Amino acid sequence: MSTAENAPAAEDGAMVFAEWVAPFVAHLAGERRVSPYTLRNYTHAVERFFGWLQASGRWRGSLDRIESRELRDFLIESQHRVGRRTLHNHMSALRALFKYWMRHGRLERNPASGLVLPRLEKPLPKFMTERQVSLLLEMPTRLLDNEATDPFLAWRDRLILELLYGAGLRVSELCALTYGQIDLEDGIARILGKGNKVRLCPLGKVATAVLRHWRTNFARDKERSSPVVVSVRHEPLTPRHVQLMLKKYLALAGLPMDLTPHKLRHSFATHLLDRGADLRLVQDLLGHESLATTQVYTHVGIARLQQIHRNAHPRA
């Protein structure tokens, strides 16, 4: 196909994006303040659906002309290319898109209503044992003692690990954390989480002490708007930077390399419940909107007890 023949399709796609996708993406970023990761995935899902409509000749110029059968066909075809969880995430993005335009009066109904998705298996969250966490948290100090790293990196990395585990922060929340959100006297951080909701997170005595040492001895910028965790150039860190840093310490500690910053959050919740914390308190600390999301950690505890029983009891 010639460049001239491609031009109308490209122009039509740009018009569709400008009219239907761009305002929705701006709403996600500005009003709902979703994470960059969610924003990227939702944008990709919506663009993919519109691209499929155009490529299959089913785009009829307006969102209100989309029928449920087109969504079903899109799902059926997508199952051959992506996994079930990705499929569910794509549909969440499309449902959010349709709800957005219903609120703005350009849709009378949601074509995704009543759509049946393939069932998802719900694996239990993977978490670290208390011993594994202790070993991981020791790694930056151990490197410093062996003169294998410099004090700035050692204390910065220890602070990161202590905040992820001690406060149960998401890695995006950690990277966005500023000094204005922290009350060092009480050891509390005000975290702006998903859905633009603020929650109070106790940091714990150890994390608070490490934070005090870091701020006093290594932080260059200490204004309320200054980021807490920074690079050697005193620039904000990205989640990717934190992930790579964690991989280094996992390797040094001989721990499984598939552990992620989010697994420290899982460990935070699991260890709290193991030691008798109230489920609703853990829900508040994690910033979960639904108690059902937090209840999965009780299943982790039950599964662990069952495994211990099977291994130890003569009639298990």
Which of 156, 158, 265, 266 is flagged as catalytic?
A: 265
Indicate which CATH number applies to the domain containing 40: 1.10.150
Q: How far apart are CA 157 and CA 43, in angstroms?
A: 33
Taking residues 260-267, what's their average pLDDT?
89
Query: Of 48, 58, 72, 262, which is the active-site residue?
Result: 262
Structure confidence at residue 278 (pLDDT): 81
pLDDT surpasses 80 at 294: no
100 is catalytic: no
Boundaries of domain holding 295: 130-312
Do 308 and 215 lie in one domain? The reply is yes
pLDDT mean over 226-241: 95
Residue 196 sits in the same domain as residue 93 = no
Q: Is 194 a catalytic residue?
A: yes
Is residue 280 annotated as part of the catalytic site, yes or no? no
Mean pLDDT to the nearest integer, 79-100: 89
- Exactly one of 194, 215, 241, 248 is catalytic; name it: 194
90, 156, 170, 271: which one is catalytic?
Answer: 170
Same-domain pairing of 171 and 293: yes
Q: Mean pLDDT throughout 243-258?
A: 94
Is 240 tagged catalytic?
Answer: no
Check 90, 156, 271, 288 and give the catalytic one.
288
Active site residue 199: no
Active site residue 80: no
- The mean of the pLDDT values for the chain is 84
- Residue of 42, 165, 249, 297 marked catalytic: 297
**pTM reported for the whole predicted model:** 0.61
**Residue 179 and residue 283 in one domain:** yes
How many distinct structural domains can be found in the chain? 2
